Amino acid sequence: MTTTLITGANKGLGFETARRLVAAGHTVWIGSRDAERGRRAADRLGAHFVPLDVTDDASVAAAVRTVEAGGGLDVLVNNAGVEGRTADNGVVGAAEVTAEEMRTLFETNVFGPVRVTHAFLPLLRRSAAPVVVNVSSGLASLTRLADPADVAYGYPGVAYPASKAALNMVTVQYAKAFPDLRINAVEPGFTATDLNGRTGTQTVEEGAEIIVRMAQVGPDGPTGAYLDSAGPLPW
């Protein structure tokens, strides 16, 4: 039996990933910083709920104790993320972005996965086939954002792409340090969720596909890769 923890799984891509992995036979822990939303999501899916705020050391440490008492962990999906849009759903551009806003985004999108992975590493290393999926973004690609011919070129935000590019580098470095682990960064594609005010052009079913696939990767599968549903992406 494979046990999987998904951070930020009370809605959006995390919830859909949880739904699919429960259907695939995984024991799934829904990580949610809000107890009511997390419990409701877990009850709907036949999953377990664990309180988990990825920006809070004490919350993450308590989640480790809960998951350990439940029997351990095989798969960690670092899904919780924020884009930091304005109140009217605008992207914060280069002229407006402040160090403080950038720090807030990095706290969730970069330090969050590092905090959670570091804390769960002892449990993962006890698994026969440990897997980590870091939910990145196509906007993490330096190659794509620097190419005027690419559709991602016009994205004006600074903090979000920078945070996901940093997460990609964290993924590469972890993959080399922990060869027994399969750890990959994935790009779900532009998906209609609360993150973007539901402006995304894909459904959550489509977006979750690569997350679900890489959560189920076997010991011979890729590690240190950056992928969308069609294959490897340029860094």
CB of 220 to ligand NAP, least distance (A): 26
Tell me the closest approach of the beta carbon of residue 3 to ligand NAP, in angstroms: 19
Q: Between 10 and 27, whose beta carbon lies closer to ligand NAP?
A: 10
Residue type, position 32, single letter: S
d(CA 95, CA 97): 6
Nearer to ligand NAP, 113 or 224 (CB): 113
Question: Among residues 27 and 59, whose Cβ is nearest to ligand NAP?
Answer: 59
Closest CA to 48 of 60, 66, 33: 66
In the bound complex, what is the minimum distance in angstroms from residue 9's beta carbon to ligand NAP? 6
Nearer to ligand NAP, 140 or 181 (CB): 140
Can you tell me the distance from the alpha carbon of 41 to that of 212, in angstroms, rounded to the nearest whole number? 18
Q: Where are the beta strands (DSSP E) in the chain?
A: 3-6, 27-32, 48-51, 75-78, 131-135, 182-186, 226-228, 231-232
CB of 37 to ligand NAP, least distance (A): 6
Closest distance of CB 137 from ligand NAP, Å: 4
Question: By three-state DSSP, how is residue 97 classified?
Answer: coil
- Please identify every residue annotated as catalytic: 160, 164
Distance CA 37, CA 11 (A): 8
Contact criterion met (CB below 8 Å) for 79 and 9: yes
d(CA 178, CA 164): 21
Partners of 75 in beta bridges: 4, 131
CA atoms within 13 A of residue 141's CA, in its CB half-sphere: 24
What sign does the CA torsion over 16, 17, 23, 26 have? negative
Q: Which stretches of the chain bind ligand NAP, using CB under 6 A?
A: 7-8, 10-14, 33-34, 37, 52-55, 79-82, 108, 135, 137, 187-188, 190-191, 193-196, 200
- Which residue number, 179 or 199, has a Cβ lying nearer to ligand NAP? 199
